[in-house]
Chain A
Amino acid sequence: GEDVEQSLFLSVREGDSSVINCTYTDSSSTYLYWYKQEPGAGLQLLTYIFSNMDMKQDQRLTVLLNKKDKHLSLRIADTQTGDSAIYFCAERSSSASKIIFGSGTRLSIRP
């Protein structure tokens, strides 16, 4: 079945870049998402990428997709304290209704 894997924790220094990695198993994944969850809140869509794209950039965020290796990454440039959150990778195939989420990566920022 479908599976999405992420490491659980990442700690970076304020001002450095953060790179959060994700692997998935469903080769028919069409849509890949990054969601952000701040403490005590629900998830909010941060960015997305289609499977026919290699890269997407949106201000401080860069998403890289290696479809051959089924590897997705999220890079946050100039990481700020407000970026502290849990980041979820998720995927959906065009034929499926449901979105499959990873376990989430907790990003903490060191001063």
Chain B
Amino acid sequence: NAGVTQTPKFQVLKTGQSMTLQCAQDMNHEYMSWYRQDPGMGLRLIHYSVGAGITDQGEVPNGYNVSRSTTEDFPLRLLSAAPSQTSVYFCASRSNRDRPYNEQFFGPGTRLTVL
């Protein structure tokens, strides 16, 4: 299994540009989520999905869109990039089944800079 994969690893955008951060998992996990990591702020939840066709907002959803047309993929779209969206973005997935530890698996991250 590849686990959780994210592309690209690095991206530089100009203010106002749009782009999509890709995330895929091959573990048949129902639950997927996007976080952003900023210094001193830890991980903040942007959007999450409990299954194909279902998405919901996290703590900081403004400026981001998501969709979940398949179990495997959960892309994150920036419609009009702003410097405040400069961050490291992590995608994560886990099974919805209530396993003892319910481990959430993380991708390697995408480092985004908005100029």
Q: How far apart are the CA atoms of A33 and B92 in the complex, in Å? A: 15
CB of A103 closer than 8 Å to a CB of B: yes
CB contacts (< 8 Å) of B90 on chain A: these are: 42-43
Check if A45 sits within 8 Å of B101, measured CB to CB.
yes
Check if A97 sits within 8 Å of B40, measured CB to CB.
no
Check if B43 sits within 8 Å of A88, measured CB to CB.
yes
Check if A31 sits within 8 Å of B106, measured CB to CB.
no
CB of A8 closer than 8 Å to a CB of B: yes
Check if B104 sits within 8 Å of A99, measured CB to CB.
yes
Contacting A at CB under 8 A, from B72-86, are none
Minimal Cβ-Cβ distance residue in A for B109 = A42
Chain B 97-115, CB within 8 Å of chain A: the 1/0 string?
Answer: 0101111101111000000
Check if A103 sits within 8 Å of B58, measured CB to CB.
no
Residue total for A at the interface (Cβ-Cβ under 8 A): 23
Check if B107 sits within 8 Å of A42, measured CB to CB.
yes
Check if B48 sits within 8 Å of A103, measured CB to CB.
no
Knowing A8-B40, A88-B42, A101-B43, say if A48 contacts B107 (CB, 8 Å).
no
Check if B40 sits within 8 Å of A103, measured CB to CB.
yes
Check if A94 sits within 8 Å of B103, measured CB to CB.
no
B45, B96, B106: the one within 8 Å of A43 (CB): B106
Q: How far apart are the CA atoms of A104 and B38 in the complex, in Å? A: 11
CB of B50 closer than 8 Å to a CB of A: yes
Contacting A at CB under 8 A, from B50-87, are 50, 58
CB of A57 closer than 8 Å to a CB of B: no
Contacting B at CB under 8 A, from A83-104, are 88, 92, 94, 97-104
Residues on A lying within 8 angstroms of B by beta carbon are 4, 6, 8, 31, 33, 41-45, 48, 50, 88, 92, 94, 97-104
Residues on B lying within 8 angstroms of A by beta carbon are 4, 31, 33, 35, 40-45, 48, 50, 58, 90, 92, 96, 98, 100-104, 106-109
6 CB-based A-B contacts, threshold 8 Å = A42-B106, A43-B92, A45-B101, A97-B48, A99-B33, A103-B42
